[in-house]
Chains A and B, each alone.
Chain A
Amino acid sequence: MEKKYGVTDVKDVINLSNDDQLRAFSKHALENKLPFNSIIGPRTQSISEPLLDGIRQTGGKVIRFDPTTGQFKNIDIGLSGPWKK
C-alpha cells in the first residue's frame, strides 16, 4: 500500500516524551499539513500525552516496529491521554 512518511521520527526508547526535537517536528508537520508519525521499538513502554497530542493534531500515527520480525503494527493511541503498553 502507498503511504506517506509525513514527518516521521524513529525512536527506540523505554519512555518517549515530547522533547525539543519532537516539538519542532510536530510544529513543522502542523504548519505544512503533514502527518507527524512516530515509529517506536518493542521495548517502548509509554508515550507522553503532549507528544501524543502533537501526533493526534496532525492526524499522525504511532507505529511499532519489531526488528526481529521486520513487521510494523499500528498502535491505538486513543483520542486523548498518554499511552502505556
Chain B
Amino acid sequence: MVPYVGDLLAKPAKAVRATKAIAGLEKKVAALTKTVTDLKKAKKEAEAIAAGVKERKVVKGPNVARDSAAKQEKAAAKKEKDCEDCGSTGDNKTKSIASANRAGSRYGSIPAEHQSRYDKYLSGPSVKKLTPDAWYESAKRMWKNNADGNAFEISARTALKAPLGPGSKPISIEGYIPDLPIGKKIRCYRC
C-alpha cells in the first residue's frame, strides 16, 4: 500500500515540476526568438544604410558637375533674359546665340562631336568633376600638347632620317616604345 501512496503523491508533483520546466523553456525560446528577430531587423537596417551611403558616394561626383551645369544653364538663361530686356534694338544674333547656349547647356560649349567624351569623363573615376566648359578647356589644352609633342617627335625623326609611319616603332622595352630604333646605325646629315 505504501509504495502506491508514494506514487500517488510523487507523480503529480513531478508533473507539476515538468510543466513548470517546460513553461520556463518556452519563455526562454520566445525571448531568444525575439532577440534573433531584432538582430535580423537591425542587420537589414544597417545594410540599407550602407547601401544608401554607397549610392550617395557614386552619385555625388556627377551631381557636382550636374549642379555646375545647372548653374551654367541658369546663368545662360539670365544672360539671355538680360539680352532680351535690353534687346529692344532687335539684336537677333545675340538672342539666337543665347538660345543655342541654353539648348546645349548640359554640355556648355563642348561641340557635339566631343560631348560623348564628356559623358565618359563624368562616369569615369575622376574625383574632381569639371564643369563642361572647364573640361573642354582642359581637353583642348591636352589635345594641343599631344599634337605639339607628336609634331616635334615627327620633325626630329624626319631630320634624323628615321623611319616614320606604321611599323616604324617595332620594339618595346618593358611596355614602353622608344621613339627611335634601337642600336641601329643611321646617317645623321645635320649633326
Taking Cβ atoms with an 8 Å cutoff, the residues of A that contact B are 1-13, 20-21, 24-25, 27-28, 32, 34, 39, 41, 63, 65, 67, 70-72
* Separation of A69 and B186 alpha carbons in the complex (Å): 20
Contacts of B152 in A (CB 8 A): 10, 12, 41, 65, 67
* Separation of A5 and B151 alpha carbons in the complex (Å): 20
Contacts of A4 in B (CB 8 A): 183-186
* Separation of A24 and B149 alpha carbons in the complex (Å): 20
- The answer on a CB contact under 8 Å between A8 and B191 is no
Number of B residues contacting the other chain (C-beta, 8 Å)?
Answer: 28
Contacts of B188 in A (CB 8 A): 1, 3, 72
- The answer on a CB contact under 8 Å between B178 and A7 is yes
* Separation of A27 and B157 alpha carbons in the complex (Å): 23
Contacts of A20 in B (CB 8 A): 176
Chain A interface mostly: mixed
Nearest CB on A from B14, distance (A) = 84
Nearest CB on B from A81, distance (A) = 26
- The answer on a CB contact under 8 Å between A5 and B190 is no
Q: Chain A CB within 10 Å — which of B152, B159, B184 has the most?
A: B152
Query: Given known contacts A24-B174, A67-B152, A67-B155, is B179 in contact with A2 (CB within 8 Å)?
Result: no
Contacts of B151 in A (CB 8 A): 67
Nearest CB on A from B147, distance (A) = 11
